[in-house]
Amino acid sequence: MKELRTEIEIHAPAERVWRHLTDFAAFPEWNPFIPRIRGELRVGSRLEVLLQASGTRGMTFRPTVKRVEPNRELRWLGHLGLPGLFDGEHIFEITPAGNNRVRLVQREEFHGLLVPLLRRSLDRDTRRGFEEMNRALRARAEESSST
């Protein structure tokens, strides 16, 4: 098992952060790590997600939504190839951090036979993608508070 974890403080209410995080149609406008996501945001549905950290070729996969708790948590589980080879549960958590502030945690738990072979890429490229997305989401949510 391998876990990547990033977090960022955002000066905006949870509802606004959630709105941007779940407005999949707008992702191409602001999201450098997930430039495209399609599908219905409900437990059990399948999404089509394009992940593309800066400097890497994109990868499309079809995870299953595991949890949708508005203004709090979004989770999906994806597989590379067959389940058990390389599985990743992607988690976004939004927690209050004060008056009109939240802490966004973006993390992923990786399991499977290929995880040891991909560890360096995960630590370098995937972590960079998480951080790029976190900063872009913060900018979008904080900017929308002034309009």
Percentage of the chain modeled with pLDDT above 90: 84
Region of poorest pLDDT, from 21-25, 82-86, 110-114, 129-133:
82-86
| Residues 6 or more apart whose Cβ sits within 8 Å of residue 77 | 63, 64, 66, 87, 88, 89, 90
Cα within 13 Å of Cα(94), Cβ side? 27
Domain boundaries, given as residue ranges, for the chain = 2-144
User: Could you report the per-residue pLDDT of 53-85, keeping only the tens digit for each?
Assistant: 888 888 899 999 999 999 999 999 999 888 899
Residue by residue, DSSP assigns 56-92 as S--EEE-PEEEEEETTTEEEEEEESSSTTTSEEEEEE
CB 122 within 8 A of CB 4: yes
What does residue 83 show for φ and ψ, rounded to 5 degrees?
A: -55, 135
- Of 61, 60, 66, 51, nearest to 121 (Cα)? 51
Distance set, CA 34 to CA 22, 39, 112 (Å): 12, 13, 23
By three-state DSSP, how is residue 25 classified? helix
Domain 2-144 is found in CATH 3.30.530.20:
yes
Summarize pLDDT for 14-47 with one digit per residue, the tens. Answer: 999 999 999 999 999 999 999 999 999 999 999 9
